[in-house]
Structure 1
Amino acid sequence: MSKRDYYEVLGVDKGSSPEDIKRAYRKLAMKYHPDKNPGDASAEAKFKEVSEAYEVLSSPDKKQRYDQFGHAGMNGQGGFEGFGGGAGFEDIFGDIFDMFGGGGFGRRNRGPQKGADVKYETTITFEEAAFGTETTIQFHKDETCDTCDGTGAKPGTSVKTCTDCNGSGEVRFVQRTPLGQIVNVRPCTKCHGSGKQVEVPCSTCRGKGVERKLKKVKVKIPAGVDNGSVISLRGEGEPGLKGGPHGDLYVVIRVMDHNLFEREGYNVYCEIPITFAQAALGDELEVPTLEGKVKYKIPEGTQSGTVFRLRGRGIVHPKGHGKGDQFVKVVVEVPKKLSERQKDIIRQFAAESGEDVHEQRKSFFEKVKEALK
């Protein structure tokens, strides 16, 4: 029976990043791991298949060879038959063993573990992104239970050492895998890895030692942030395990569109309509900027679509590397309704001007004539 395409096995594309490939592998390996499917030969075969696919696609050299020659280019270097041990072998199975509490490769997490990170999205205005602001965000997270002070036990009762794991939080067992029998370690199911037993659980947290609370955090957003910027706050995430530190809070910035300005990097762009008279004769315009209006002189004969630059009127760099500029595009408005007198004046202007003054139009028709010769 021919082997399935490794990308198809993991459900990823050829252009997927190493992180996407690893994420897909861990998800499928967790699903088909023998621990979760005892005695299921089909699940064991799929576990072997996804592990084989990951062993090849996670290695830059093997992946390149596979992309070029397919299964024929492996020459026994992919799949369980081709595993030669060493670091690659340990890495591919170590990830799975970690999911189930560790394994025979010494990768168990017995000590304190950092808590999970928290991601939060907040929306700010265009001006707030340009000048910075301070906001308060609210989200739910686990915090130490106030009733039991994190012990998980009802006040007045005791916490004892777990009798199943003798306080280690882990139990050893022999697991049958495609590689044979391996001595594995998993968190104790009786104490959930804590090493302790609660006789009478706390009524507030039900023995967990933590309770879900509404957390309010002040976030200082620096000037110059852009859509997608991330601000990290250490220690504001979920609590750690076994006395480990809290995780971190990552605040993702979303910036609202502005009705007048657009942004590209640290530069600001806008359009200003001007009349034909202003374009022809020149004028002093009042140009809106993020810091208020400024005056700017445009020369006579300004063409529609001309872009002027206002230095230092853009957005400040968050790390103090100066400011961007503002670019102003002028667009000549053609009046839609004219009085008879205005029409007569324009006709007189056209007759008086002739064709010589319309340099761009004249140049265009000369190019047309040249092209049609």
Structure 2
Amino acid sequence: MASDYYAVLGVQRTATPEEIKKAYRKLARQLHPDVNDAPDASDRFKEVTTAYEVLSDPQKRQMFDRGGDPLSSGGGRGGGPGGFNFDDIMDAFFGQSQQRGPRSRVQRGQDALLRVEVELAEAVYGVTRELKVDTAVVCDVCAGRGSDDGAPPAPCGTCHGQGAIQHVQRSLLGDIRTARPCPTCHGFGSVITDPCRSCDGEGRVRARRSLTLPIPPGVDHGTRVQLSGEGEVGPGGGRPGDLYVEIRVRRHPVYTRAGDHLECQVTLPMTAAALGTTLDIPALRGDLEGESDAPPVTVDVEPGTQSGDVVSVRGEGAPRLRGAGSGDLRVTVVVETPTDLDDAQRALLQQLAATRHEDQPEARLGSTPRSVFGRIKDAFR
């Protein structure tokens, strides 16, 4: 009488095929002689393999449940007692079944990547570009069929349409079956007897084509724009992949980008920073083709502005790529100290310093306020 195969795998008699397969995978990983050097590992591995051979086959399992021994007549799956399929061991170690049967000639194409340089204004406000791309396209001679005469592929005479050749190897564990792609049809299960002369049976050729790229407002350096279905056509004229266009933004002489904000720097004379002023800064939008007459951006500089202060203009930055609204324009003010004073200008500044009690100023380190003694001195003055 055969062993209790359910007990060997550690499952109930009502176990589902998936539970049986899961139990076998677990035990096979533990007991395989390549990973387990215990003296009885080889015998136990062979035992669980035999149990799985019976319980994974509905007919053999039914015979065993009725009290018979499905292996007594030599009807094992490997062509003899103790035979097994090597794919089941691969399942146990890699957790998934290997692809079986012929593979399709028609496959999805690969994605493609293209890099495009744009000006800062084009990235901020959006632009449309006409591109030339070199990708695989459907062969216009055979329309993707791969055959010169349009005839469908014929079944492979070597593998008889299976796409693989079975090999049986004797071992101490029994007969081990392995499957290798058919060398004649390369795993397709069929052969093209009269390949297309244009694409050599691939169903696709490389060609240059034109396409329109809409670059949305608000993209930044490194942003990728996806064009669905504009990538490489797959083998056999299969569905094309996607085209990804990576945006590269050229450096601007005035403006820089900080997220959704635009930044620039202006230099003001000392008197303008002290008294306050209004500036008109050329708009970045004016760099776009056809918008050179765009109105400037007005920046209000408050009286007493210090060098390094930042004045923000709401809504004059880059549109948000995801979401509503725009960032700000941030203007950094640099106060310029005059260096070429004449006698009259120097006298006026000396008079101003005297009226502000700054003719002998007290130095301050960093941003620390004036000392208590300095404020008392000012009070006595």
- Tell me the TM-score normalized by structure 1: 0.63
Matched with 1:293 is 296
Compute the displacement of 1:180 (Å): 11
Q: Distance in 1 between matches of 2:176 and 2:112?
A: 36
Q: Distance in 1 between matches of 2:329 and 2:272?
A: 21
Q: Is 2:223 the counterpart of 1:229?
A: yes
Q: Which amino acid aligns with 2:35?
A: E
- Does the C-alpha gap of structure 1 residues 218 and 171 become closer, same or farther in structure 2, counting only changes over 3 Å? farther
**Equivalent residue runs for 1:10-49 within 5 Å:** none
Matched with 2:242 is 248
Q: Distance in 2 between matches of 1:352 and 1:282?
A: 20
Compute the displacement of 1:354 (Å): 2.7
- Does the C-alpha gap of structure 1 residues 276 and 205 become closer, same or farther in structure 2, counting only changes over 3 Å? same
Compute the displacement of 1:158 (Å): 7.5
**Equivalent residue runs for 1:1-373 within 5 Å:** 81=35, 90=91, 93=94, 105-108=97-100, 110-111=103-104, 113-155=107-149, 159-173=153-167, 183-241=177-235, 244-291=238-285, 292-355=295-358, 361=364
Q: Distance in 1 between matches of 2:317 and 2:93?
A: 49
Give the share of equivalent positions with the same residue, in percent.
Answer: 37
Is the partner of 1:342 in helix, strand or coil?
helix
Aligned residues: 279
Q: Distance in 2 between matches of 1:260 and 1:180?
A: 78
Q: Distance in 2 between matches of 1:175 and 1:233?
A: 50
- Offset from partner CA, 1:54-83 (integer Å, 9 cap, x none): xxxxxxxxxxxxxxxxxxxxxx9xxx627x
- Tell me the TM-score normalized by structure 2: 0.61
**Contact 2:138–2:237, Cα closer than 8 Å, also in 1:** no
Q: Which amino acid aligns with 2:240?
A: H
Compute the displacement of 1:225 (Å): 1.0
Q: Distance in 2 between matches of 1:224 and 1:183?
A: 59
- Offset from partner CA, 1:155-210 (integer Å, 9 cap, x none): 4887533222333434444699xx99864444433233343323343332233222
Compute the displacement of 1:312 (Å): 1.0
Is the partner of 1:81 in helix, strand or coil?
coil
The alignment yields a C-alpha RMSD, in angstroms, of 3.9
Compute the displacement of 1:108 (Å): 4.8
Q: Distance in 1 between matches of 2:318 and 2:240?
A: 35
Q: Which amino acid aligns with 1:329?
A: T
Which 5+ residue runs of structure 2 have no aligned equivalent?
A: 1-29, 37-44, 46-89, 286-294, 375-381
Q: Distance in 2 between matches of 1:207 and 1:309?
A: 63
Q: Distance in 2 between matches of 1:281 and 1:129?
A: 37
**Contact 1:290–1:313, Cα closer than 8 Å, also in 2:** no
Compute the displacement of 1:219 (Å): 1.3
Compute the displacement of 1:250 (Å): 1.3
Is the partner of 1:212 in helix, strand or coil?
strand
Q: Distance in 2 between matches of 1:326 and 1:91?
A: 61
Q: Which amino acid aligns with 1:295?
A: T
**Contact 1:123–1:256, Cα closer than 8 Å, also in 2:** yes
Q: Which amino acid aligns with 2:302?
A: P
- Does the C-alpha gap of structure 1 residues 293 and 268 become closer, same or farther in structure 2, counting only changes over 3 Å? same
Is the partner of 2:296 in helix, strand or coil?
strand
Q: Distance in 1 between matches of 2:222 and 2:251?
A: 13
Q: Distance in 1 between matches of 2:128 and 2:214?
A: 4
Q: Distance in 2 between matches of 1:181 and 1:255?
A: 63
Q: Which amino acid aligns with 1:105?
A: S
- Offset from partner CA, 1:209-258 (integer Å, 9 cap, x none): 22111122211111111111111122112223466422111111111122
- Does the C-alpha gap of structure 1 residues 219 and 248 become closer, same or farther in structure 2, counting only changes over 3 Å? same
- Does the C-alpha gap of structure 1 residues 245 and 206 become closer, same or farther in structure 2, counting only changes over 3 Å? closer
Greater share of helix residues, 1 or 2? 1
**Contact 1:230–1:251, Cα closer than 8 Å, also in 2:** yes
Q: Distance in 2 between matches of 1:92 and 1:174?
A: 20
Q: Which amino acid aligns with 1:147?
A: V
